Amino acid sequence: MTTLTAPPVPVPTAPTAMEAAVPPEVHPPGLPATGAALPALLTAEHRIHLLYQMLRIRRFEERCVELYAASKIRGFLHVYIGEEAVGVGAMQAIRPEDAIVATYREHGQALVRGIPARALMAEMFGRVEGCSRGRGGSMHLFDASRRFYGGNAIVGGGIPLGVGLAMAAKKQGQPTIAATFFGDGAAAEGIFHESMNLAALWRLPVLFLCENNGYAMGTSLARAHAQTDMVVKAMAHRIPGEAVDGMDVEACEEASLRAAEYVRSGIGPYFLEFRTYRFRAHSAYDPELYRSKAEVERWRERDPIETFEARMRADRMLDDEIRNRLEAEVMAEIDDAVAYAEAGTLELVADLTRFVTSERAT
């Protein structure tokens, strides 16, 4: 009989003060190719749509950062800048009747879902006209009519909501799926594994969308996870999955369409890990001592908007005229949203306890 001996467990060494201050490049760009975009998606019209959506997100958030500095927007603010290809690509696979759950870094998904920029900006300003009546702010964008169930401030908190929504659809015999976005940090939470286990066990129609940007606040993936490959974690729960180049909107769309089709077929959940990067700080307050400037620069070279634009120009699907028109349309939409938010109403203090218990908002 052979005796099995466990391999020696590597002893983690504490980072030196210098390592803690400027760590090595822990999240290098260099990603798996996921295959070319589906030919049906390669039309100029469709590509312009993808570029336009990414630009909307980028410019909306750039304006939010400015408004935050001017104290017009208060509370927390986590921007998606650098990760737009993930939100835009993945959302192409999600139909209006499907349910979506996102994280506190969700402005992009909310915009692509069709929540008007006015309602989103008013929410950022804490106005009653906001999509959550001004009570949620940046982290709690919500629109039940569009089946957009947040905006969740609790890391990993949206994952079981997605599983629950999928369970409801299955029990009611509805042919819809639930898509749940979450970060790499959420994969270190117990609820991630509990949710994946039940989704797999009960073959629920959940599309797990992991936005792996390499960091959970100031903690790199490698510092917090023994297993840094997210797909392996999914497979431990017998959920098929794949890693996707999260800086390439077409790769994100293509993989999401395939994954959503799998989930819609009723076989069970599917897992996508988007390898991406946030170009800005974690939130408004973050001196970014946990990563080197060189690492950020290397990822910036893969800017999802610039690289996609270059590809479109090379394919003669984009010229200055179209690009300028897109920019003007986006800016007009944002200016209008800001004016709407500025003119919005602050809730009366006397009304603040409304809806806390049973009264329904209209």
Ligand X SMILES: Cc1ncc(C[n+]2csc(CCOP(=O)(O)OP(=O)(O)O)c2C)c(N)n1
3-state helix, strand, coil in the chain (%, to 5): 45, 10, 45
* Residue 195 binding result from Mg ion, ligand X, none, given CB thresholds of 5 to 8 Å by partner type: none
In angstroms, the CA 174 to CA 168 distance is 8
* Residue 192 binding result from ligand X, Mg ion, none, given CB thresholds of 5 to 8 Å by partner type: none
Size of the site for ligand X (CB under 6 A): 15
> DSSP readout, 249-289?
HHHHHHHHHHHHHHHHTTS--EEEEEE---SS-SSSS---T
- Looking at the Cβ atoms of 225 and 258, the one nearer to Mg ion is 225
Cα radius of gyration (the chain): 21
> DSSP readout, 24-59?
---S--------PPPGGG-SHHHHHHHHHHHHHHHH
In angstroms, the CA 130 to CA 200 distance is 37
- Looking at the Cβ atoms of 118 and 278, the one nearer to ligand X is 278
In angstroms, the CA 323 to CA 52 distance is 9
CB closest to ligand X, residue no: 183
Residue 123 is a binding residue for Mg ion (CB under 5 A): no
Burial class (CB in 10 A: 0-12, 13-18, 19+), 48: middle
Q: Which stretch binds ligand X (CB under 6 A): 37-45, 151-159, 229-237, 245-253?
A: 151-159
Which of 64, 212, 88 has its CA nearest to residue 139? 64
In angstroms, the CA 230 to CA 236 distance is 10
* Residue 123 binding result from ligand X, Mg ion, none, given CB thresholds of 5 to 8 Å by partner type: none
Find the binder of ligand X among 154, 161, 168, 224 (CB under 6 A).
154
* Residue 154 binding result from ligand X, Mg ion, none, given CB thresholds of 5 to 8 Å by partner type: ligand X
Residue 139 is a binding residue for ligand X (CB under 6 A): no
Residue 184 is a binding residue for ligand X (CB under 6 A): yes
* Residue 346 binding result from Mg ion, ligand X, none, given CB thresholds of 5 to 8 Å by partner type: none
Residue 183 is a binding residue for Mg ion (CB under 5 A): yes
Residue 184 is a binding residue for Mg ion (CB under 5 A): yes
270-275 vs 241-245, strand pairing mode = parallel
Q: Which stretch binds ligand X (CB under 6 A): 153-161, 170-178, 267-275, 326-334?
A: 153-161
* Residue 155 binding result from ligand X, Mg ion, none, given CB thresholds of 5 to 8 Å by partner type: ligand X
Least gap, CB of 285 to ligand X (angstroms): 12
Residue 186 is a binding residue for ligand X (CB under 6 A): yes
Which of 325, 343, 356 has its CA nearest to residue 135? 356
List the interface residues with ligand X, window 243-282 (CB under 6 A).
Answer: 282
Residue 217 is a binding residue for ligand X (CB under 6 A): yes
Residue 322 is a binding residue for ligand X (CB under 6 A): no
Q: Which stretch binds Mg ion (CB under 5 A): 101-109, 216-224, 228-236, 289-297?
A: 216-224
Find the binder of ligand X among 153, 161, 168, 284 (CB under 6 A).
153
In angstroms, the CA 260 to CA 263 distance is 5
Binding residues for Mg ion, rule: CB under 5 A, are 183-185, 213, 216
Binding residues for ligand X, rule: CB under 6 A, are 103, 105, 153-155, 183-186, 211, 213, 215-217, 282
